[in-house]
């Protein structure tokens, strides 16, 4: 796939040609053709779920209205992407997730900083939640009060559309969260429901007593047992209980009501018509509730996601759906759907992320290799979004049955060890993190912190220990090389490119101090970023090392999504060996997860070239690896 030129790289004639192409409307029958392709299945699924043909007719008219509102530039992009359906599988894609206010203050500020993102090699920008939410009751923006209004201090919907237009001109895609499981209690629907309007109460789960809520809570696991126990909240003003699986100010929507599905789908399409390329479906496994179940991953969820996928393919076929499914692989894979009836285009690789940090703390790659074998066994069409850190905490959702069977691991004791290690309590650990949602009853907690701080960079800087800093930075680079080795789309968390450290200032902010996730959601350090071109600084070395990795990945065919990928025996439980083979080329990737010198013994002869360090190796049967080091070894 040829790299798309940025505006700066284009001639005036090329810019004029692109502008003309973008302003050429799609053919008048484009919508009708796409609707006809999906109509039978869409109607069958809709009417099986809701048994309401009148609601379905409204749904179709809504889709037509949204398509009519889609501007010519977006329709033209839809046509280009339809002609290249694998456009998002390119190894050149590199993502970054960021908070608008932390990164640049406002949406206009983000637009002004696009040259920096381009310098980072980023062409996929995930803007963390930015829609209107009540201050102090927003859960980081995941309690939306208006799906069509930007948080005022960040800008306006016009600013968001202008940013999306600017990104599109630079060949960059924009991702935005769509919080579909619930609304804020300040949303118009919730306010009217609270005031007693039955039509709006029917959009939520209202009960006059605790009888039915108690029956629900017998089978629904608590999401936040420490900070928000239970799944219902009592409203004193209207003397009713409302379902609130996450926080009391986030009211769960009732998708058994077709009006909810119709209106939420229209809200989704409104955002795509502003130029959003990727819609992240937040907490998608939770959206269908049924008494007597755990209200997770129910069959109706897949029906809803499939219908949303078809709605996008009809109105905006250039838009992707990214599913947030924070569960084990067996429950994640079904959200891809099937080749005939696809659901999400891509999903988060959550378990691999958690297993990676487990592996760093234990120095044993067995679980990570087991996890990767499971991922590699999935169809190649399944595309994962890979990351080391994100806006959220690290939950230890590991494969404990496997660990128990092979190592006799006790789940509670192991979680405590991991949390002690990454908070620096364990002897010999230089990691610096904090716990989130610590639940002493269950011996469970999640972890917060930036990549650099969890790798020991913060401790080394504080102690002014140059040797320790070298080891910590090597660890950080090794983890990023591992993330970039995985098939799928790699996504950086803003600040990791310059080794940003934890921000403890949130402890002094009354709106944030109860949520330790703000430890790694701090303001972007532009002073540190200004050092990115200075090779004598740790920021400069971090930036240059990561740019070199991403440049190699973009240019090496073995990183193609179509490559064959598998793990091999490295001869050491400390070293992960991953082989990628494509188009007559073989890339052996080795990662030493231990803080010691370890020798790898991989059954390979012949000459291998190290793509990162430029060295040549005669076979891989006796290769000494430095602590927390990696090697990308190519044989043609």
Q: Which residues are catalytic?
A: 282, 324
Give the span between the Cα atoms of 154 and 203, in whole angstroms: 29
Total residue count of the chain as it appears in this document: 636
Say which residues have a Cβ less than 8 Å from residue 146's Cβ, sequence separation at least 6: 131, 132, 187, 188
Give the span between the Cα atoms of 366 and 460, in whole angstroms: 29
Give the span between the Cα atoms of 614 and 549, in whole angstroms: 13
For strand 278-282 and strand 173-179, is the pairing parallel, antiparallel, or unpaired? parallel
Give the span between the Cα atoms of 349 and 355, in whole angstroms: 10
Per the CB < 8 A criterion, the answer to whether 301 and 199 are in contact is: no
Running DSSP on this structure, what letter comes out for residue 342?
A: B
Nearest CA to 612 out of 551, 535, 532 is that of 551
Give the span between the Cα atoms of 546 and 553, in whole angstroms: 11
Tokens of 531: 């050092």
Per the CB < 8 A criterion, the answer to whether 143 and 182 are in contact is: yes
The half-sphere exposure of 145 on its side-chain side, counting CA atoms within 13 A, is 16
Q: Give the chain's radius of gyration (CA, Å).
A: 25
Running DSSP on this structure, what letter comes out for residue 2?
A: P
Q: CA torsion angle for 420, 425, 430, 435 (degrees, to 10)?
A: 50
Q: How far is CA 239 from CA 187, 208, 210, 233, in A?
A: 19, 7, 11, 11
Tokens of 30: 């484009």
Give the span between the Cα atoms of 484 and 480, in whole angstroms: 6
Say which residues have a Cβ less than 8 Å from residue 308's Cβ, sequence separation at least 6: 265, 268, 281, 321
Per the DSSP assignment, residues forming a β-bridge with 394 are: 447
The half-sphere exposure of 374 on its side-chain side, counting CA atoms within 13 A, is 17
Q: How far is CA 598 from CA 181, 576, 605, 629, in A?
A: 47, 12, 19, 10
Q: How many CB atoms lie within 10 A of CB 567?
A: 18
Cβ burial of 472 (10 Å; 0-12, 13-18, 19+) is: buried
Nearest CA to 535 out of 523, 525, 548, 520 is that of 548
Strands of the 240-243 sheet, one edge to the other: 206-207, 240-243, 232-235
Helix/strand/coil for 254: coil
Nearest CA to 442 out of 192, 229, 146 is that of 229
Per the DSSP assignment, residues forming a β-bridge with 94 are: none
């Amino acid at each position: 796939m040829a790299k798309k030129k940025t505006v700066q790289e284009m001639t005036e004639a090329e810019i004029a040609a692109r502008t003309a192409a973008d302003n050429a409307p799609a053919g008048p029958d484009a919508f009708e053709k796409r609707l006809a392709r999906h109509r039978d299945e869409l109607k069958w699924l809709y009417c099986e779920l809701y048994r309401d043909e009148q609601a379905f007719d409204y749904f179709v008219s809504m889709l037509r209205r949204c398509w009519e509102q889609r501007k010519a530039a977006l329709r033209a992009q839809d046509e280009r992407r339809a002609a290249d359906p694998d456009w998002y599988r390119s190894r050149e894609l590199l993502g970054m997730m960021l908070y608008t206010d932390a990164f640049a203050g406002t949406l206009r500020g983000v637009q002004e900083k696009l040259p920096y993102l381009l310098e980072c090699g980023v062409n996929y920008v995930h803007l963390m939640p930015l829609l209107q939410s009540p201050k102090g009751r927003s859960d980081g923006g995941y309690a939306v009060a208006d799906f069509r209004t930007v948080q005022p201090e960040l800008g306006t919907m016009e600013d968001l559309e202008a940013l999306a237009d600017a990104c599109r001109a630079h060949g960059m895609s924009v991702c935005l969260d769509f919080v579909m499981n619930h609304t804020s209690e300040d949303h118009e629907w919730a306010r009217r429901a609270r005031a007693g309007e039955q039509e709006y109460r029917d959009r939520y789960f209202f009960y006059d007593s605790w009888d039915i809520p108690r029956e629900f809570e017998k089978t629904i696991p608590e999401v936040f047992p420490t900070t928000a126990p239970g799944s219902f909240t009592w409203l004193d003003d209207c003397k009713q209980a409302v379902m609130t699986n996450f926080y009391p100010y986030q009211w769960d929507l009732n998708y058994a009501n077709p009006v909810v599905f119709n209106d939420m789908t229209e809200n989704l399409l409104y955002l795509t018509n502003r130029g959003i390329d990727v819609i992240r479906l937040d907490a998608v496994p939770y959206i269908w509730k049924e008494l007597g179940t755990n209200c997770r991953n129910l069959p109706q969820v897949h029906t809803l996601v499939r219908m949303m996928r078809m709605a996008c393919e009809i109105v905006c076929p250039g838009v992707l759906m990214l599913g947030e499914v924070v569960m084990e692989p067996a429950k994640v894979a079904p959200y891809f759907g099937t080749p005939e009836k696809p659901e999400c285009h891509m999903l988060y690789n959550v378990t691999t992320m958690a297993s990676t940090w487990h592996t760093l703390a234990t120095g044993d790659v067995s679980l990570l290799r087991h996890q990767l074998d499971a991922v590699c066994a999935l169809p190649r069409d399944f595309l994962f979004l890979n990351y080391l850190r994100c806006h959220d905490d690290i939950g230890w959702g590991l494969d404990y049955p496997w660990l128990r069977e092979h190592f006799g691991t006790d789940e509670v004791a192991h979680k405590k060890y991991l949390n002690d290690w990454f908070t620096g309590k364990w002897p010999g650990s230089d990691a610096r993190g904090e716990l989130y949602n610590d639940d002493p009853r269950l011996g469970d907690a999640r972890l917060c912190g930036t990549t650099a701080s969890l790798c020991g960079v913060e401790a080394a800087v504080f102690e002014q220990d140059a040797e320790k800093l070298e080891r910590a930075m090597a660890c950080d680079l090794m983890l990023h090389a591992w993330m970039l080795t995985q098939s799928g789309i790699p996504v950086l968390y803003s600040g990791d490119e310059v080794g940003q450290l934890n921000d403890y200032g949130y402890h002094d902010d009354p709106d944030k101090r109860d949520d330790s996730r703000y430890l790694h959601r701090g303001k972007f350090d532009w002073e540190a970023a200004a050092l990115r071109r200075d090779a004598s600084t740790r920021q400069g070395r971090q930036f240059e090392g990561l740019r070199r990795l991403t440049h190699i990945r973009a240019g090496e065919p073995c990183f193609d999504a179509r490559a064959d990928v598998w793990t091999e025996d490295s001869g050491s439980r400390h070293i992960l060996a991953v082989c990628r083979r494509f188009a007559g080329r073989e890339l052996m990737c080795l990662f030493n997860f231990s803080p010691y010198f370890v020798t790898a013994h991989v059954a390979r002869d012949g000459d291998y070239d190290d793509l990162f360090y430029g060295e040549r190796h005669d076979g891989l049967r006796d290769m000494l690896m430095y602590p927390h080091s990696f090697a990308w070894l190519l044989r043609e």
